[in-house]
Amino acid sequence: MIDTHCHIDFKDFDSDREEVIKRAKDKLDYIVASGFDKTSNQNVLELSKEYEGFIYPTFGFHPVSSQNSTDEELKDAQKHLIDNLSNIVAVGEVGMDYFYVTDKALRERQQEIFTSFLNLADEYKAPIVMHVRDCEKKAVNIIQDYEDIPYFVFHCYGGSLKTAKRIMNMGNAYMSFSTMLCYSQQHQDLIKKIDLDYILTETDSPYLAITKEERNEPANVVNAVYKIAKIKDIDISTVDEVTTNNARKIFKI
């Protein structure tokens, strides 16, 4: 099993990061640690070096925190990414967030930044991990113009079934489902209808714990795998094998 999206570098894990990673190693094959901004990108890179062969980094620029960034800050983050393309497995998380951001000008800025990262991924033929909350349909419309991006990942997918079908029809786009599956009826309904061949598993830890009082962690991705198997009424081993192989193909692990 693979946690394809977590933030193991966050301060939430500062007190016991080694123990958290050990618990993950006991249950999982790999972790993909998603960068958030330039500082976070460097942190996940260092963790990937410390836990070589188990933690794999992606370099991102989160839409909510980056929407007010200057062009100079954006260029600096992208240079850092380009300089480390051989050390990372994907661009992301990048994208747009219409849940937290309703201001039209800020949404336009998010799209501008997102497009710049799509151009970069297209130029370097890199997979891209996308945070496109409440704008999944718009994201599909945008990304269809990028023919040299090998794989698109809709991180923590929560869009409509109609949009999910469009994503599956692309052939090189995947939807990642988190531990939210354990309590979200919306996500459970989606899983019933989405082909396993287009599904990845994640935690987005430390977020999206099964109970609000908990801190989520990568080992908990097992719960998402079990839930998918139960909803689809198929063997856990089949869900494990297919979702793991999906991730290994996308990230070349």
Residue ranges of domains in the chain: 2-251
pLDDT tens digits, one per residue of 174-194: 999 999 999 999 999 999 999
Query: Which is it for the CA torsion 149, 7, 241, 194, positive or negative?
Result: negative
Over range 103-115, report the average pLDDT. Answer: 96
Over range 144-159, report the average pLDDT. Answer: 97
Q: How sure is the predictor about 66, in pLDDT bands with cuts at 50, 70 and 90?
A: confident
Helices (H), 38-145: 38-50, 63-66, 71-83, 104-124, 136-143
% of the chain with per-residue pLDDT over 70: 100
Task: Give the CATH fold of the 2-251 domain.
Answer: TIM Barrel (3.20.20)
Q: Kindly state the tokens that stand for 205.
A: 């830890």
The overall pTM is greater than 0.75? yes
Q: How sure is the predictor about 65, in pLDDT bands with cuts at 50, 70 and 90?
A: confident
